[in-house]
Structure 1
Amino acid sequence: MDRHDLRRFRLDYYPHAVEIASRYADVDDLGHINNLALAAVYEDGRTRFYMDYGVWTAPQARDDIGAEGVMMVASLKIDFIAETHYPAPIVIHNAVVRVGEKSFSTHQLATQDDKPVSLCDATFAYVAGKAAVRLPDPIRARLLRAMTSQNGESA
């Protein structure tokens, strides 16, 4: 863990957390939750984060925020720190760390049994048609509210 910024392991770094049930179907031959399955758990945690902050751009949510585009993953990195096991739930802690003109970045921490198991860094572009476009003002304002108070920057 010494290669990571220690602030990333503090729960107060993240303004949002959601518990995700682990699934037996995701257990691998070694008896722990498969790393690829953990990537999907992060995706679920991000989606719930977006829903709770009102920035979800799925078709059924677009009218609320005047969105015509969607959030697309531009970059995703997961550092696995410890094994995860079934049946304990996984808590995904979420924070926005950068809001730019057409994109934003997030930090996530996964914990299980109150211990860190992995970190996820992601950058998302707001895309309409086939190109990145400016984040709509309502989405931008809500993302700024979801920023970590520890080191977030807005651009």
Structure 2
Amino acid sequence: MFTEVIQPRFSETDALGHINNTVVAVWFEACRTPIFKIFTPELDLQRWPLIVASIAVDFKAQLHYGSEVEVRSWISRIGNSSFEVTQQAWQQGQCCAEGKAALVHFDYQLQKAKALSPALKAALEAHALQPS
């Protein structure tokens, strides 16, 4: 599991004083960077091998400005050419949002999915943890 702490910015609040719901998906994407580095350690966009097939976020509680947020990320499913990342946003000891992203290992030249190698699967499996 990967964890990253985010300090919400004032500009990320909405008219009601909560963190805007669109911000959580952006935070989750940013916190997938360690997973991206499994595939492209230097994050070279010319050699980028992933596409997003789907994302979903469920909101469980309000997030607020002025208190840090811990984002937890782990691999929740590994397929032949795709995998799923589950992520949670925790603030003040409470899980406030949970999301899932399905990512596909993709060959842009051939415009089709590419099988995950045994080495990539092993690297993903090393982060296939469920938090308690």
Q: Please give the range of the TM-score, normalised by the shorter of the 2 chains.
A: 0.7 to 0.9
Question: Which of 69, 72, 87 lines up with 1:108 in the alignment?
Answer: 87
Unaligned stretches of 5+ residues in structure 1: 1-14, 63-67, 151-155
One-letter identity of the residue aligned with 1:17:
T
Unaligned stretches of 5+ residues in structure 2: none
Which of the two has greater helix per residue?
1
The equivalent residue for 1:19 is 5
* Percent of pairs with identical residues: 27
User: What are the Cα deviations for residues 50-93 of structure 1, in whole angstroms up to 9, with x where unaligned?
Assistant: 26xx41437x346xxxxx55221111110001111112111111
Q: Aligned-pair RMSD on alpha carbons?
A: 2.0
Question: Which of 41, 64, 67 lines up with 2:27 in the alignment?
Answer: 41
Q: What is the aligned residue count? A: 127
User: What are the Cα deviations for residues 97-143 of structure 1, in whole angstroms up to 9, with x where unaligned?
Assistant: 11111000121111011111011011110111121111234322210
One-letter identity of the residue aligned with 1:93:
R
Distance in 2 (CA, whole Å) between partners of 1:29 and 1:84 is 13
1:73 aligns with 2:52: yes
The equivalent residue for 2:38 is 55
- Work out whether residues 74 and 130 of structure 2, in 8 Å CA contact, stay in contact via their aligned partners in 1: no
Report the TM-score, using the length of structure 1 for normalisation: 0.74
The equivalent residue for 1:9 is none
Q: Which runs of 4+ in 1 moved over 3 A?
A: none
Report the TM-score, using the length of structure 2 for normalisation: 0.85
